[in-house]
């Protein structure tokens, strides 16, 4: 939640006084593989002035979009030299004289993308930061602005869902998929997850069910399952697709009349193919979603503030946890980047750079 503070003229001791902070940052000057182009460099930061805030970064995740940005494959192109990363949780060190909403010690997360977050310290504009409760765990706070928000918006913005309704999704073990299960549980919605078969499938099913999944089926199982025809679970009105190809086609077949499929990723790198029957006779619809675009278009919207408040409340109450993850020291960024590119584990483990002790 945003924190109300005294006006700056009433708190002169909170202002910066020649902090002489040296930031260690992962910078790159050209596109390429992260382990090849990222360099750990040191820069002395100037004290924040006016509406600027000096932040100590505590943790910052490595997201697929971050890797794609470094590679030059993402729609958003940075200006070089650039600091990598988009998400973080940090702690305010000191503030400029015109800052009104934040004070030293406040935990903050980014409201804007492209700020450069794989660094130990940074100076940001006050308007680009959101103060949150320090009762939210570091891993949860560090990953709040992308995956949980993506899940939240897709569940809220395309179909009006009520308790007892059903959502079906492929890639159900992804970070977004794990967030969807947890939000559905909190809101009383049935969550059916589709995953690829693998040797650890029983363990994976148990994990996702512990997060809130009503049922977890493999891609082969969903083709023959009577889970909807039998009436065990209501037919889904909303489908979420991050895979594409045959997986998306199969999931769309199970949508109810006038159901909606929302595509937010394409891990198979295959196009979304529409089955003719459901398209004509069920009048199903296909939409796309990109969290970065939504955030820019709704930067100061009340819906955005409400979303963060609700997510933080669930996290404080222990009803929403971070995706399966591993904390990695900043100095081991090359190993972490390589692992993020090559990780084949069943939970889609997220790697988070840990700067809390820097």
The token pair at 162 is: 């009520």
Task: List pLDDT tens digits, range 145-165.
Answer: 999 999 999 999 999 999 999
345 against 180, higher pLDDT: 180
The token pair at 345 is: 């584990």
Residue whose tokens read 């902070």: 21
124 a catalytic residue: no
CB 123 within 8 A of CB 46: yes
| Domains of the chain from N-terminus onward | 8-143+322-354 (3.90.180.10), 147-292 (3.40.50.720)
DSSP letter assigned to residue 105:
T
Identity of the highest mean pLDDT range in 11-15, 56-60, 264-268, 339-343: 56-60
Residue whose tokens read 């492929």: 170
Which among 74, 124, 264, 299 is annotated as catalytic? 74
Between vectors from CA 176 to CA 73 and to CA 307, what angle results, nearest 5°? 105
CB-based burial label for 50 (10 Å; 0-12, 13-18, 19+) = exposed
The lowest-confidence range among 142-146, 341-345, 346-350 is 341-345
Structure confidence at residue 342 as a pLDDT band (50, 70, 90) = confident
pTM of the model: 0.92
Task: List pLDDT tens digits, range 88-116.
Answer: 999 999 999 999 999 999 999 999 999 99
11 against 199, higher pLDDT: 199
Closest CA to 144 of 171, 173, 182, 170: 182
Task: List pLDDT tens digits, range 241-294.
Answer: 999 999 999 999 999 999 999 999 998 989 999 889 999 999 999 999 999 999
Q: In angstroms, rounded to a whole number, what is the distance separating the alpha carbons of residues 123 and 125?
A: 7
Q: Around Cβ 255, how many Cβ atoms within 10 Å? A: 24
Name the strand (E) or helix (H) holding 54.
strand 52-62
Backbone φ, ψ for residue 297 (5° rounding)? -75, -20
């Amino acid at each position: 939640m945003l924190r109300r503070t005294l006006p700056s003229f009433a708190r002169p001791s909170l202002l910066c006084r020649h902090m002489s902070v040296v930031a260690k940052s992962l910078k790159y000057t050209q596109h390429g593989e992260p382990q090849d182009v990222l360099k750990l460099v040191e820069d002395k930061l100037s004290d924040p002035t006016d509406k600027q805030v000096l932040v100590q970064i505590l943790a910052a995740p490595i997201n697929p979009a971050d890797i794609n940005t470094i590679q030059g494959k993402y729609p958003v192109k940075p200006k070089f030299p650039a600091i990598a990363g988009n998400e973080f949780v940090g702690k305010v060190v000191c503030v400029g004289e015109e800052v009104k909403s934040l004070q030293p010690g406040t935990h903050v997360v980014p409201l804007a993308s492209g700020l450069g977050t794989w660094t130990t310290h940074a100076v940001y504009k006050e308007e680009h930061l959101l103060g949150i409760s320090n009762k939210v765990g570091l891993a949860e706070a560090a990953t709040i602005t992308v995956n949980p928000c993506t899940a939240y918006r897709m569940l809220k913005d395309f179909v009006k869902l009520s308790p007892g309704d059903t959502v079906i999704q492929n890639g159900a073990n992804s970070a977004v998929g794990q967030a969807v299960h947890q939000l559905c549980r909190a809101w009383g919605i049935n969550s059916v997850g589709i995953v690829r078969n693998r040797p650890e499938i029983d363990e994976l099913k148990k994990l996702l069910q512990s997060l809130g999944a009503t049922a977890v089926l493999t891609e082969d199982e969903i083709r023959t399952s009577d889970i909807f025809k039998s009436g065990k679970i209501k037919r889904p009105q909303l489908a979420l697709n991050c895979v594409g190809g045959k997986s998306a086609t199969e999931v769309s077949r199970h949508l109810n009349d006038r159901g909606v499929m929302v595509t937010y990723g394409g891990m198979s790198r295959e196009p979304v193919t529409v089955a003719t029957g459901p398209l004509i006779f069920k009048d199903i619809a296909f939409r796309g979603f990109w969290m970065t675009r939504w955030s820019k278009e709704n930067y100061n919207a009340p819906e955005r503030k409400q979303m963060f408040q609700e997510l933080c409340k669930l996290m404080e109450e222990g009803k929403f946890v971070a995706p399966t993850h591993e904390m990695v020291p900043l100095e081991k960024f090359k190993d972490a980047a390589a692992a993020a590119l090559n990780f084949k584990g069943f939970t889609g483990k997220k790697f988070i750079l840990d700067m809390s002790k820097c």
